[in-house]
Structures are given as structure tokens and as C-alpha cells.
Amino acid sequence: MAQATIEGLAGVLVWTEADRFPAMARFYRDTLGLTPRSDKSDFVNFDWSGVRLSVGVHAGVRGVSREPLRVMLNLTVADIQAAHTRLTHAGVVFSRPPEREEWGGWVATFADPDGNILQLMQLPAPGTR
């Protein structure tokens, strides 16, 4: 039954409406500083060794996220303090500044222009807590 096992995460799609797409694309590409794998007028895609984060236009989406805590994107960083400082200077407002978690990592929380919740996550060094 090995063919039926889930092997990993291929990617995440963040849908928005056409009028909101330019702000969303700028936020992920320019504010967060992510490098696009592809960048079109209604879809932008970022890739980390095969795991893809995409932002695109969907006809069924209207306005900002009504339930922003339903799905949360965790973006790994090597230095959460430096990333927090850079993004704060770029205009990102954090609802939670960097804080150490009981499991040893660090987390900081903010939202994209549609109100979707994202977190910077600095994982603990292997073997530490």
C-alpha cells in the first residue's frame, strides 16, 4: 500500500480576488522578499526545493479573509530577530513580536493584505530544546 501514502507537502495556495491581487503579489514578492518561480498578472509562485507557495486570483473569493486564523502559514527563517526588524522597517505590523516557544523555537505573527495570518518561525537547533 506504499503508493497510497502521503509523502509530503507540495505547496500552499493563497487565493484572492482580482482587485486585491496586485497588493497581495507585492506583499509576498517585495515586502517579504520572496523570489518568484513564476510571476504572472493573476498568479505568482514561490518555490523552496519543490514546496511551493502560490498567490492567485480565484473568482469565488471576495474581500479580505473572514476567518484569518483558519489557516496559518509558517515561514522559516534562520534569524527571527533580523527578519522581524527588516519586515517592520518594510511596514509589516506584527500582532505578536518574536517570542521563544516552550519547544525551543521562536515565533512572530503578522498578516498579509487580505488578513491571512502568517508566522515567522525560527526552528531550534537540532538536539536542543
pLDDT per residue as tens digits for the range 68-118? 889 999 999 999 999 999 999 999 999 999 999 999 999 999 999 999 999
Domain ranges for the chain: 12-57, 71-129
Q: Regarding the domain delimited by 12-57, which CATH topology (the fold level of the hierarchy) does it fall under?
A: 3.30.720
pLDDT at 40: 97
What's the pTM value of the predicted model, to 2 decimals? 0.89
pLDDT at 125: 85
Percentage of the chain beyond pLDDT 70 is 98
Residue range 2-11: mean pLDDT, rounded: 83
CATH class as words, domain 71-129: alpha beta
Q: Do 119 and 68 form a contact (C-beta atoms < 8 A)?
A: no
- Residue 102's Cβ-count burial label (10 Å; 0-12, 13-18, 19+) is exposed
